Structures are given as C-alpha cells and as structure tokens.
Amino acid sequence: MTSKKPESISDTKKRARRIDKELAKLYPDAQCALHHKNALELLVATILSAQCTDERVNKVTPAVFARFPDAQAYATAEIAELERLIQSTGFFRNKAKNIQACCRMLVERHGGEVPRTMEELVPLPGVGRKTANVILGNAFNVPGIPVDTHVGRLSRRMALTEHDDPVKVEHDLMALIPKADWTDFGHRMIFHGRQVCHSRKPKCDECALKGMCPKIGVG
C-alpha cells in the first residue's frame, strides 16, 4: 500500500478478508499441529506446548496419553512420574503442577470432562484464553482465534491491530474476520508465520500477501 492516508475501519475489514481468502488458498489443509484424539489430550498437549515446539510435544505425548487415559488418572498421578514423562518440554515442574491441578478441577467440577465454554475453561489452572480457544475450535468446533506469538506478530505487521495484548488482538481480529473462519484463520496465520513471514527476515518479495500488507516494522 502506497497511500499515507489512514485506512478506514471499512477498508481494513475489506483488506483483512482479502488476506483471509488468500491464506485459505495458500494453506487449505492448515490445522492444529498438536496430535490428539480427544479434548483432554488436546488440553494437556496445549499446556505442554508453552515455550516448546509442537514437534517436541508430539514426541512426548504418546507415552503421556497412554499412561494417563483420563482426568482421574492425571488427578491421582505421582507428580514425579508426570514430571519425568514431560521433562523434555521445558518448565516441566510447573506444567506438571498445572496439568494435575487442572484435571483435579475437571474431576471435581465437571465430571472429568473438558468443558465446552470459554467461561468454564479459563478458570482451569494452566488455561488462558489462547488455550481455551485452541480447545474450543479444534475439539468442539466452536470458532475462536488463539493469539500466539505468530498471530500477534503478523497481525501487527499487517496492520490488523496496533495492540500487543493478546486479548485485544483477538478482539480486533474477531471484528475483521468472518466468525466461521476464526479457527482456520488462526492456523493459517501460524503456518504463514513459520514458512514465510518470519520475525527477523520475512520473505516479503515472495509473499502472496505483499500487495495487502503494509509491512509494519519491516526494513
């Protein structure tokens, strides 16, 4: 974009939807990278993914899921065993503590089941809005935009938000992107951030979005 005139809200929404459509063409098969078979497995995997790669989490979780098949198993686990199984994901003591406390709350308040609303998910230990959106969108097909470092960074670079706070970024994107696309949009932004729109050296010249992106902070 070459115009220096401030972009109207209407124009930002139109541009955001063009970006959304282009990302859908680029990454039609984008989906949650964390391997899971049910909501509880996704919840545990998402807690483990904090400051850890999805690849590492996916190497660790098969043994974890086999050893702890339900919330009750985590709730009554020997914490040292859980720590040992997840040690390579980093910050393992805090993660083990959160997983066990979370599962105890699931048993005590939700019959051992992962709840299906933001209001019930956020109070769980180790769960914030980002994790709740991951679970809602991928386990229960409830649209949501998890704002991780990629989504936040790309949204600011593309001038879809001016905020650093993930909750404010989430609400800005919710106002711009059609609700039905929220979950997939998040996945596609993550893919694009990993493959093209890198933090330090984005591949702007070969980016399919270059005509829609003001490249805030680049160069």
Contact 42, 202 (CB under 8 A): no
Q: Is 181 a catalytic residue?
A: no
Instruction: Find all residues with CB under 8 Å of 63, minimum gap 6, and list them.
Output: 85
Tokens of 84: 């040992």
Indicate the SS3 state at residue 207.
coil
Q: How far apart are CA 191 and CA 177, in angstroms?
A: 17
Indicate the SS3 state at residue 148.
coil
Catalytic option among 95, 130, 172, 184: 130
Q: How far apart are CA 43 and CA 39, in angstroms?
A: 6
Residue 198: which of 153, 166, 135 has the closest Cα? 153
Sequence-ordered strand ranges (E) for 107-203: none
Indicate the SS3 state at residue 35.
coil
Q: Beta-carbon neighbour count of residue 210 at 10 Å?
A: 13
Catalytic option among 13, 70, 97, 148: 148
Q: How far apart are CA 23 and CA 209, in angstroms?
A: 8
Instruction: Find all residues with CB under 8 Å of 44, minimum gap 6, and list them.
Output: 61, 64, 65, 68, 74, 99
Q: Is 165 a catalytic residue?
A: no
Residues with catalytic annotation?
Answer: 130, 148
